[in-house]
A = this chain, B = another copy of it.
């Protein structure tokens, strides 16, 4: 019941997906195809899976993260006839078992988040033929590009993350809001007045930094890219290496896609009661090994808050260092996932229709899809915009008109 309502609520606020689903129901673009999915299993991904199913596909859905599953949604999706293999808090073994279940269906198309499904398809399941797939995250795409460069990628993959309607919104506004939401829920602490270090000034990091400032925090950014570092500084944030930043931090949030951002050398410099949270895909941005090693004891002082007692100080790790917006929050806001999943749905349709022309490469999402989603979203928001006049179009083609 609870899960059904969650699906209803999500669907009611996924206006773009609603329109795509209505078309899919008529056109059945996936007739005869099997789609294997590994995503955070909650209401919004549920709606995506149902939408692909309603487009004619046979669908299997597993989780891409052991802690982010919403069991009530799993149940509701099963009631609606979907094959779901996920459970909140599943063990590492169960996690992989569930991915295997998805692959054993021998999918034609995959929808991956973080790249674990793709990796399996290049190791234990390298025998399964795949028409193509989508990858959702920066982390997964980084992996794909390494594979492409090394010449081992064996089917076409679309970098969904690179679509404008995805990363401009999902990574920035989605991660920004949901990370804050997760941290506030987990801690009930004030953001205002805190000195917060944000590691990484990519789209996620700048979304988080922007929202932290919007809630009254004083933000320090750490970066390895000089251009992004200057941008952060020009945006009014302080920029410094982590080893300096950590000494001032009331809170540290990682959003880099890289491991060991907070490691032993940093932890020893942290202030008493410093809070650590991660907004990157994997739980290796904050070194749990280092925390364990340095701590004399630990306890769960609050749901999703682990207290590490280092003797001279106490440190708090939120959500076991996993994606805090999914572990302690509810993931991205519905309307934002609506856009990202519209990209996913239309890109999957593109693969279904064009796989014969595709090579084993990492592809950008066609611009046409980006624009289609944007127009549908504008329509859903009731926002009208300007159009070029004929004279303006002519001017655009003209290069001799002068000062």
Give A residues with C-beta under 8 Å from B: 2, 5-6, 8-10, 12-13, 43, 64-66, 92, 95, 114-116, 119, 123, 142-144, 146-147, 150, 164-165, 168-169, 173-174, 176-177, 180-181, 184-185, 188-193, 195, 211, 213-218, 222-227, 229-231, 233-242, 244, 258-260, 273, 282, 300-303, 305, 329-331, 333-336, 370-371, 374-375, 377-378, 381, 383-389, 391-392, 395-400, 402-403
Contact = CB atoms under 8 A, between A and B. Distances in A.
A238 B226 contact: no
A223 B224 CA distance: 34
Contact of A229 (B229, B333, B385): B385
A209 to B, nearest CB: 12
Contacts of A218: 233, 236-238
B302 A5 contact: yes
User: Which of A180, A371, A398: most chain B CB closer than 10 A?
Assistant: A180
Nearest to A395: B259
A217 B233 CA distance: 9
Closest 3 CB pairs between A and B? Answer: A214-B214, A190-B333, A226-B374
A240 B383 contact: yes
A223 B403 contact: no
Contacts of A240: 383-385
A258 B173 CA distance: 29
Given A177-B190, A234-B216, A378 B168 contact: no
Given A150-B399, A188-B334, A229-B378, 6 more contacts: A6-B302, A66-B403, A114-B403, A173-B192, A192-B236, A192-B336
A195 to B, nearest CB: 8
A123 B400 contact: yes
Contact of A116 (B95, B300, B370, B402): B402
Given A6-B302, A8-B301, A184-B181, A399 B115 contact: yes
Contacts of A6: 302
Contact of A336 (B190, B244, B386, B397): B190
A185 B330 contact: yes
Contacts of A168: 227, 231
Contacts of A389: 260
Nearest to A211: B215
A215 B217 CA distance: 13
A123 B302 CA distance: 42
B282 A383 contact: no
